Structure 1
Amino acid sequence: MKLVWSPEIAAKAFMDTVKSCELYEGSSVAELISAMAAGWNAKLIVETWSRGGVTTTSIGLAIATSHTCGRHVCIVPDQDSKKEYTAAMEKAGMSPEVIVGEPEDAVKEMVVDFLVVDSRRNNFGRIVKAAKFGNRGAVVVIKNASLKVAELGSLFDGGSRRIVRSVFLPVGKGLDIAHVAAGEVGSGSDKVKNSRWIRRVDRQSGEEFVIRK
């Protein structure tokens, strides 16, 4: 099953997030991610959060699930983070599900459609690798990606999953976004098993294409 984009739902989520985040500075990231999650009709959206972080992205994701009838889960490292996060979200009129624990352990227990992690976490690569994706594949978003060299492609090189398309967007402090296909690279014929994945980047748009050769 392929991910099917719905521009109508994406537009509604975008506008609702604009209204909810209009008092927050730098909410453009939240609006974009909300529209993406809603447009892909994500049923399980998972994000990570730590104390002191902004909650505008969370507000956008919560709005997205209201349009997709989905589930929004936020993974926090400790009880203090949970209290701070829950209070901030309740103030915004949102009540997402919150899990306390190590993200790379928590994501193993869920089948994720849309994953949002922060590159400022030293273990963000392990979180992405540990995540389970369904038969539709998933969309992975790395926030604050400009703070480090983009690593999304390398997280899947030689693995059982492959990136169909990825793009870096200079929004906020940078977003590295990828559509990860379902299924296994290396299944089927020997030709597929021995194939190589080549990454190409469009210099004008910044969009990255992954081609099997």
Structure 2
Amino acid sequence: MKLVWCPETASKAYIEGVKTLAGENQHQEESTDVAEFISAMAGGWKAQLIIDAQSNSNPTNTSLALMTAARHTHGKYLCLSEGEAEPKNLMRQLQGVDYLVVDGKRRDVASVVKEARPGPRGMVVVIYNNVTKSNVVSAAVISGGMRVVRSVFLPIGDGVEVVHVGVGKGPSLEKTGRSRWIRHVDDTGEEHLFRR
């Protein structure tokens, strides 16, 4: 089995996430754009075990959006605050993680990702508030012995890195530490450069 994208569930999770965020916590400084995107991805992948590794213990827009997405996927949502006892031990105990969301403000981002135990369908790992714009998640996934199927860095908020972890062992398609420029010319003749 592998993770399969479902656009209908993604749309429902996104719309419900927008409604939830519109009615709650409008005083929060955190942007809703990232939370809505992360919620739609959780819904689209039909995540059954969603782990939210926050940098503090207060509910955030991302937390509210992920809880909403979990209702649409009929999955479980678990929040892991940085202040909790030992996140590494907690992550080791959780088997079958489909969707791991990590706040880049945490000091232990790499260790949380390394200790994650993907499910039989693979896992999607998202790090937001990635102000360094580095491939933190890809490096942690590979060093944890997992296989990277694809990864992308998106300029949403302070930066979002999304990594799709494949099932089983084997070579990763992504190589950390090496990037390259990709040139794309669209239908209008406009040239776009992407760094990968």
Does the pair score TM above 0.5? yes
CA distance in 2, matches of 1:14, 1:60: 8
| 1:62 pairs with 2:67 | yes
CA distance in 1, matches of 2:91, 2:57: 22
1:1-213 equivalences in 2 (<5 Å): 1-22=1-22, 24=26, 26-51=31-56, 55-78=60-83, 100-111=84-95, 112-147=97-132, 149-157=134-142, 159-185=144-170, 198=175, 202=182, 204=192, 206=194, 208=196
Q: Structure 2: give runs of 5+ residues left out of the alignment.
A: 184-191
1:136 to 1:52, Cα distance in 2 relative to 1, 3 A: closer
Contact 2:114 2:144 in 1 (8 A): no
What SS is found at the alignment partner of 1:145? coil
What SS is found at the alignment partner of 2:131? helix
TM-superposed CA distance for 1:197, in Å, is 5.5
1:168 to 1:129, Cα distance in 2 relative to 1, 3 A: same
Partner deviation per Cα, 1:86-132 (whole Å, 9 max, x = no partner): xxxxxxxxxxxxxx432221111112110011222121101100111
- Letter matched to residue 61 of structure 2: T
Partner deviation per Cα, 1:60-90 (whole Å, 9 max, x = no partner): 1001111110000001244xxxxxxxxxxxx
Percent pairwise identity: 41
TM-score by length of 2: 0.81
Q: Which has the higher contact order (CA 8 A, sep 6+)?
A: 2
What SS is found at the alignment partner of 1:155? helix
- Letter matched to residue 136 of structure 2: E
What SS is found at the alignment partner of 1:171? coil
- Which range is displaced more, 167-176 or 139-148? 139-148
Q: What corresponds to 1:89 in structure 2?
A: none
